[in-house]
Each structure stands twice: as C-alpha cells, then as structure tokens.
Amino acid sequence: MPKLFTFFLSLCAALLPAAAGAQDTPPTQSSTGLRPDSVEAGGLAPPRVLTLDLTRNANDIWDRIRRGFGMPDLETPLVAEQQLFYLNRPAFLKQVFARGGRYLYYIVDELERRGMPTELALLPMVESSYNPMAYSRAHASGLWQFIPSTGKNYNLTQDKWVDERRDVIASTSAALDYLQTIYEMHGDWHLALASYNWGEGAVGRAVQRNVDEGLPGEYARLRMPEETRNYVPKLQAIKNIVARPELFHIDLPYVPNEAHFVALEAPQGIDLATAARLAEMPIEEFVAFNPGFNRPVIAGTGQTLIVPVDRAAHVEMRLNEFQLAGRGWRTYELQPGERLAEVAQRYGLTLAQLQQINGLNAQSRTGPGYSLLVPDGIDPAGALQAARLLPNTTFAAPAKPALVKPGRVKLGMTAPASKAAPAAKGAAKPASRATPRAAAKAAGPKSAPPKGAPAKAAVKPAAPAKPAAGSSAKRAPEKPRR
C-alpha cells in the first residue's frame, strides 16, 4: 500500500506542470475554423472552400457534373449580369433543370467517355432550355440547335419521317463531334463556344484581327456581336449556380446519377400514342423522350423508341405483343388520278385528318407514288393526338415555288436574312450552325430579359437594351449566325 501511495503522488507531480503550461498556450482554432479571440473581436471567417471527395461515388448528377468541370472560369461583369438574371427567376431555373434531368445522365456519360469538360452538359440550357422541340427563326432545332445544313454535315437524318436534330442521342453525338472539332481548331474552350454560337470562321477572323492590331486573342478581348459576347457568360453563370447552389439559396432538383432511359426496337406500324399507352406513360412525356419523329407513326424498320429504364422490360414485352397482333398503320401509294379525299374516305378518315397525320396542308402538292400513312385495323384517334404534339413539318413539294426577294432567305436556307456577309464564309467545314438570337420555342421566363440576357425562351424576348458606353457590339463587323 505505501508503494502504491508513493506512485500516485509521483504521477500527480508529473501532471501538474503540463496542466499549468496548457493554460499559457494561445487559443486554438475552433471547429468552425475561427479562433475564439477573433470571434470576440468581431473577426470574419475565412471564405469557405468547397472540396470534392473523389473517393466516393457521386451523390447525384449535379455532383458528378461538378467533378468533371474542366474549363477555365470567366470572371467578368457580364457573368454577374447573367447570373443575376437567372437567380431572379428561381421558378424558371427549377423548371429547366427538372426538364434537363431526363437527358443529363446520357449527356454527361458521353462527355466523360470522350474526355470533355462536363460544363458542356449545361450548354443545352443556353441553347434550348433543355427543350428538344425548340425551333428558331433560323430553322435551328433540338436541344443543341442545329440548322439543316450543319445537321447534314454531321449525318443527322432530316426527312418527312424523322428529324434527328431533335433526337437526343443522335444530336448529342453530333454536337459533341462539332465541339471537339472547333476546340481542336482554336485550342481554347471559350473560343470554341464562341464559334459554336457565331461560327468558327467569324471567330478565327476576329482573333486574327486582334493579333494584327497587337491585341490579345482571348475571348474576352475580341470584338464580336452582343449575343456572342454574352454567350460564354451565360454558361459560366449557370456553372456558378450548379457549382455552389447553397451559396445562392437555390435547390437543384434531385436527379439520380444513373441511366434514365434505354432504346428499344420499334415495331413497324405503331403510332406514338399507342406506344405511350403500352409504356403506361402520358403521351406528352413519351414524346419528350422521343422528339425526333416528324410523323405520329413509325412506318419504317430500324427505328428505336426511348423509354424509362425502370420499365423497359415490361414495355419491350408489350411491343412484341403489338407486333404479333398484326394491327397498326401502313403506307399507301397514291395512284394516278386519285385524290386525297378519296383515300381518306376509304380508310374512315376525313381529309383534314389524313392531312394532319401525313403533315400535309392545302398548298402541299402530292402525286402518283406519294406515300401516305393510313390505318390498318387500328383506331386513328391516338395518332391524331400525337400529331398535335409534333412540329408541323411539311415535306411535300409546294404547289408553286416560293419567290425569294433579293436579300431575303427562303425556308431552309442557312444564310442570315440581312445584308451582312455570312459570318462563316471562308470558315473551315463544317459550317457554323444557326443565328444566336434564335427564339427557341421552349418554355422560358415570362419577364423580359435585360441586355444580353438568355434569349432561348419560348416567349418573344423584349427589344434589347442599348449597349453600354464603350460596348463592342456596334463595332462588330458581322451579324451572328450558327
């Protein structure tokens, strides 16, 4: 016992100096990152730095997009202006981000497979508000807003049955091909994006003009149209919001980091409304997954239908049952001297219904051998319903050729309807895509945007504000086009 008591006294004697020394040490940082004495003195916390733990799986698609950011940030007053525009419209942001949730996983997957920065997954928000049915005055169409000529350059089929500029899978592949091409041309993502908006030829000449004048050739120092000056800031503003939504008090809709849809072989002769019914989906939602069709009926072979991945097995089984039933739609070729009204009556349709299903109007010219879709043992009501959701595209030849006045553009041409020289003249192929001021028929904010605000909304944008003093918009040598 005396030995134990002596050991206890020795231990206490050893600990007392350490405790006394601890009282003299300066206060340490708290768990909040602030020193207590600095809090008492009214000191401010250091800026919060978000970090990404790449050792764990992404929480959702937004987390995955953040991990793949690879473009240099652009920090200009225009970025702040665009950012304020979006933040003042939280309902619009919520609507567009939710709509993009259908397509984001596929786009991000393709970007990562190619080793491209994931900021590009946000570009369709600038282009079309993630609306694959968006269509501009320059005839640009789809999520990525291809004009007809550039779509053909990138093998996007455009005929009376389909328009692959609106097809999510085909158009995404073409857009990423194009973006890779113009990035390799300039070696700079900001210049590549400006080329996507204005045309690679126009951007190349603007860079050379600066070099000749002894000025930097970077994006922010170029003289360019106002729309192109605001194009990269729009994307940067969206990137900033996605990167730190909590900083801006924005709740991004939950989009799981998993495949959202799969492609199934489409049976010949099925209409989109019947396919939607077999998939147990509203026709509007089904068309949003399958926006590339110009007709409400799939008449040929080799086509696919996009359906949600969680119901793919069930839908595939029901599509096979439909094919075995032998009922659906077929094509009928007009005979010499036969009128459309006669064909409509023979198949239990009105003339207006036959024209609607086949994308015809009173001015369309048809003749012997022209293929028409007609019902074959199926109720035409579903196809008529689906036809009302599709673009009113007519591929039949008009009764009389349209006269084009000098300086004007006929439907389908790619030159801008202005006296300015085409911006892409002399540019390396493929040609640039569409005018940047394309008023896409997509859902968008109802209030009029400020100068340079996002213009890809369904509503017609208000007249732009006058450029600020010293703006390069008035000095732009060419009108923007894509």
DSSP, res 358: T
How far, in Å, CA of 305 to CA of 353, rounded?
A: 24
Return the beta strands (E) in 359-481 as ranges: 364-365, 371-376, 397-398
Which two structure tokens, joined as six digits, stand for 218? 């970077």
Q: What is the dihedral of CA 219, 220, 223, 226, to 10 degrees?
A: 100
Name the active-site residue from 75, 119, 127, 285: 127
Q: How many other C-beta atoms lie within 10 A of the C-beta of residue 181?
A: 16
How far, in Å, CA of 338 to CA of 371, rounded?
A: 13
Residue 129 Ramachandran class (φ > 0 left, ψ -120 to 50 alpha, else beta): left
Question: Which residue in 125, 128, 130, 114 sits closest to 70, CA to CA?
Answer: 114
Q: How many other C-beta atoms lie within 10 A of the C-beta of residue 177?
A: 14
Give the DSSP H/E element, type plus range, for residue 43: none
How far, in Å, CA of 221 to CA of 216, rounded?
A: 6
Give the DSSP H/E element, type plus range, for residue 18: helix 2-24
Burial class of residue 472 in the structure, from the number of CB atoms within 10 Å of its CB (0-12 exposed, 13-18 middle, 19+ buried): middle
How far, in Å, CA of 166 to CA of 180, rounded?
A: 20
Q: What are phi and psi of 117, to 5 degrees?
A: -65, 140
Residue 280 Ramachandran class (φ > 0 left, ψ -120 to 50 alpha, else beta): left
162 touches 154 (CB < 8 A): no
List % helix, strand, coil for the chain (3-state, nearest 5): 40, 10, 50
Q: Which residue, chain included where needed, has tokens 């219904």? A: 353
Question: Which residue in 178, 182, 203, 202 sits closest to 192, CA to CA?
Answer: 182
First to last CA, the chain: 95
Q: Which residue, chain included where needed, has tokens 């504000």? A: 465
Per the annotation, the verdict on 284 as an active-site residue is no
Question: Which residue in 99, 191, 14, 66 sits closest to 443, CA to CA?
Answer: 99
179 touches 120 (CB < 8 A): yes
| Amino acid (1-letter code) at residue 374 | V
How far, in Å, CA of 98 to CA of 104, rounded?
A: 10
Would you name the residues annotated as active-site residues? 127
